[in-house]
A and B are shown apart, each in its own frame.
Chain A
């Protein structure tokens, strides 16, 4: 295409051959660069996944799910307490964040249209969405761990909830905004007060989207390590449902075991990393397909 344009207008002293060549080169450079950078990203993904499967796969055994984390220098062991602890912390975090997040998103989309407060909350929520997670860990440390003098499962799950909250607020608002206003008007015309319209019509219409948001929040907090370092900490004992003490969890265990001098610890760290990545990727893919199905 560029050839015809260039040939069609030969004028003055412009050296069209050179122009044509430089246009062709700049285009080529862009194409190659864009393709290479994409391939690099995809290559890194497969490299990381491949390494996880190769190194972590060797550690997948029944022991992993039935034995608790081994002490220093002890052979064998599994990740049972860390797996259970992580599941409890993550789901507790989601359980705390979901009602607040969905209600806040509802306020932004339904009640606060055009209000100054809603604009401010939306802006601050976006900031919170990208705030460094280690600062959230420090915050929870200052307000919960310092005054009560002890690491606790509660502190850990509250830190995770603070990370999940902005994700849920954002997706809930976006999804409620997709619900056509005519549905709301139809409900209001039947005499339903706003709270009924919201619960029976808006929420129901946006259900898949809101659930997607919760799944994405779950995927986001499942692998978070930094905020758990000084809140839930870790312990190497059997999980005892005591949320007022330190609680073992996968990310912190992986962090502690990965650079440890014991072979079986390193092996467990790789297996844990494989488990956690598989869970997170499955959640992300699940959330995506849920959204695309609509």
Chain B
């Protein structure tokens, strides 16, 4: 009996073994690995193509490509400083305005909102994050910019005119509403829902016990947020903010609509300017020869700046405390 059983068992294993080495299994495994490697190849390809396309410009202008302020298509002299400064300053304005608002929104959604209100408001915030950037651009150009010009730029310019420092930074030579500050404000509106929903998810992960024990010894909401929630979520909120920064740096369409696309360096944030992305979007299709290389070179600068920001962001976000 035992012998018969063993023989059948061995036969059975033999049959399956025969089918295995040439079966679908190894192919499937190889396919899935190849798909995963595609992701790596894509990022490497983006990096390589930016360096390849921008190389003539780097070679021609050297370090001056980063520090030059001329963008002269007639004489083929290109310097990226105005666009680089524009990118950094719009992103900075967006962060200064957007970060407090997004953390406030996340706190409201997790701590203050009544239960029945949480879901609709949370969904609304997430939908705001899904609105495409060209829509923000149109809203910015046709709705926000005229209001901004009439009710902020004109009065503020009148007040600050002639003042030292403030008069330089906030004075609008031509109060059209377009400019670095308007672009920064639109960017802030775009990153708020993004950072807020990430931060909300992080605050939600903190065990309720921690929060309840703090309330239990008589802490106010502010004290719970300041001494319990923020220290607990700490680093990962910084990560979420950095992700928002990565977004603000590379945002194209909305900025292109409202920044005014001026190619000079201005001390005032009310004046039109340009960012790397808006410069590429508005000039690339008409660009030839060195101008195109210079634009791809700017793209290369943008790539490395966002790459560093995003790497730091991901490392910080992945350090979320596990409970």
Chain A contact residues, CB within 8 Å of chain B: 1-2, 4-5, 23-24, 26-27, 29-31, 33-38, 40-42, 44-45, 47-48, 51-52, 55, 99-104, 106-108, 110-112, 117-118, 120-121, 123-128, 130-136, 138-139, 141-143, 162, 165-166, 169, 191, 193-195, 198-199, 219-220, 222-226, 229-230, 233, 251, 254-255, 258-259, 269-270, 273, 276-277, 280-281, 284-285, 288
> Using Cβ atoms and an 8 Å threshold, which residues of chain A touch B53?
138, 142
Question: In the complex the two chains form, is B251's CB within 8 Å of A138's CB?
Answer: no
Asked if A38 contacts B109 (CB within 8 A), the reply is yes
Q: Is the interface of B mostly helix, strand, loop or mixed?
A: helix
User: Interface residue tally of chain B, by bracket?
Assistant: 35 or more
Question: B136 in the interface, Cβ–Cβ < 8 Å?
Answer: yes
B135 close to A273 (CB less than 8 A) = yes
Given contacts A124-B39, A132-B249, A277-B135, list 5 more A-B pairs with CB under 8 A.
Answer: A121-B40, A132-B251, A139-B50, A255-B137, A288-B123
**Chain A CB within 10 Å — which of B31, B40, B138, B246 has the most?**
B138
Q: For residue A162, which residues in chain B have a CB less than 8 angstroms away from its CB?
A: 42
User: Does B132 lie at the interface of the complex (its beta carbon under 8 Å from any beta carbon of A)?
Assistant: yes
A interface footprint on B98-130 (CB within 8 Å = 1, 0 otherwise): 001110110111011100000001011111101
Is B281 positioned at the interface, with any CB of A under 8 Å from its CB?
yes
Nearest to B303 among chain A residues (CB) is A135
Whether A142 contacts B296 in the complex (CB less than 8 A), given A100-B38, A135-B50, comes out as: yes
- Residue with the highest number of chain B CB atoms closer than 10 Å, among A26, A131, A224, A284: A131
For chain A, what secondary structure do more than half of its interface residues adopt (helix, strand, loop), or is it mixed?
A: helix
Residue of B nearest to A128 (CB): B43
- Binary contact readout B31-52 vs A (1 if CB under 8 angstroms, 0 otherwise): 1111111111011011001101
Is the pair B127, A111 in contact by a Cβ cutoff of 8 Å? no
CB-CB nearest in chain A for B314? A126
Partner of A258, one of B20, B141, B250, B280: B141
Q: Decide if B104 touches A36 in the complex (CB within 8 Å).
A: yes
Residues of chain B lying within 8 A (CB to CB) of residue A281: 127, 130-131
Contact check, B104 vs A103: say whether CB atoms are below 8 A apart: no
Q: Give chain A nearest CB distance to B288 CB in angstroms.
A: 12
- Contact in complex: A142, B130 (CB < 8 Å): no
CA distance A30 to B126 in the complex (A): 22
Interface positions of B from 10 to 32, Cβ below 8 Å from A: 16, 20, 23-25, 28-29, 31-32
State whether A41 and B37 are in contact (beta carbons under 8 Å apart), knowing that A226-B281, A229-B281, A251-B132 are contacts in the complex.
Answer: no
